[in-house]
């Protein structure tokens, strides 16, 4: 399926691995100034790997590899950027993580109903200490902290010279929608279909 044309929106695949298991998170970033895919890639890597981001909950065996960015203008070439300028290139928790296919799911709402108006982000390689006891779901403290971390990531993007933000992009409607709510789901999620970009 061809990518849609959505003005000022970039498709950003955040590539990472845990051991020999490779995974990717696909987010969409909208910028309010004239910038480049290279600039967006660097901003996303620095926001994702910033102090106060998701890495503080992930095992140190988890590594951030690359951000693969495509501007959704129908003609630009994709570019890649590593995490060398980020505060963290891996998780910061010493010890075991949950299995590589298990992730916390962050639901992104836009205030409108339907599949085209909602998105999700996956947080993989979470340290086992953030699982509730008994191991039935994520701990309530962790869930609350994840929403704060998402706000911190978005704050880095919004405070940049590109005045960027994560949005929900509908490929069906070829339109992007601002996020109005962020909810971390209590139950374990699975990164099905995200193993390869």
Task: Say what the pLDDT of residue 80 is.
Answer: 96
Q: Which of 1, 51, 49 lies closest to 25 in space, CA to CA? A: 49
Contact 17, 102 (CB under 8 A): no
Alpha-carbon distances, residue 131 vs 54, 59, 75, 138 (angstroms): 15, 13, 44, 5
Residue 77, both tokens: 């070439």
Task: Say what the pLDDT of residue 192 is.
Answer: 61
Which residues does residue 25 pair with via DSSP β-bridges, in sequence order? Answer: 14
pTM of the model: 0.92
Task: Say what the pLDDT of residue 162 is.
Answer: 85
Task: Say what the pLDDT of residue 1 is.
Answer: 62
Neighbours of 111 (CB within 10 A): 11
Which residues does residue 69 pair with via DSSP β-bridges, in sequence order? Answer: 12, 79
| Burial of 97 per CB tally in 10 Å (0-12, 13-18, 19+) | buried
Nearest-5° angle of CA 138, CA 179, CA 53? 50
The string of pLDDT tens digits covering residues 65-105 is 999 999 999 999 999 999 999 999 999 999 999 998 899 99
Q: Which residues of the chain fall below pLDDT 70?
A: 1, 192-197
Residue 107, both tokens: 């639901």
Where do the structural domains in the chain lie, given as residue ranges?
9-190
Separation CA 45–CA 67 (nearest Å): 7
What region does 111 belong to: left with phi over 0, alpha with psi -120 to 50, or beta? Answer: left
């Amino acid at each position: 399926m061809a990518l849609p044309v959505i003005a000022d929106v970039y498709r950003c695949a955040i590539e990472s691995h845990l051991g020999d298991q490779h995974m990717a998170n696909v987010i969409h970033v909208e910028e309010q100034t004239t910038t480049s895919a290279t600039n967006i890639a660097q901003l996303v890597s620095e926001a994702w790997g910033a102090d106060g981001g998701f890495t503080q909950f992930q095992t140190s065996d988890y590594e951030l590899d690359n951000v693969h960015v495509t501007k959704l203008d129908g003609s630009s070439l994709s570019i890649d950027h590593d995490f060398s300028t980020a505060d963290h290139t891996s998780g910061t928790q010493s010890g075991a993580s949950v299995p590589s296919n298990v992730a916390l799911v962050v639901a992104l709402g836009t205030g409108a109903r339907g599949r085209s108006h909602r998105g999700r982000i996956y947080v993989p390689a979470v340290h086992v200490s953030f699982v509730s006891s008994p191991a039935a779901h994520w701990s309530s403290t962790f869930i609350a902290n994840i929403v704060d971390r998402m706000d911190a990531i978005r704050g880095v993007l919004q405070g940049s010279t590109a005045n960027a933000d994560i949005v929900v992009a509908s490929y069906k409607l070829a339109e992007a929608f601002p996020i109005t709510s962020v909810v971390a789901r209590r139950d374990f999620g699975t990164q099905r279909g995200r193993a390869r970009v």
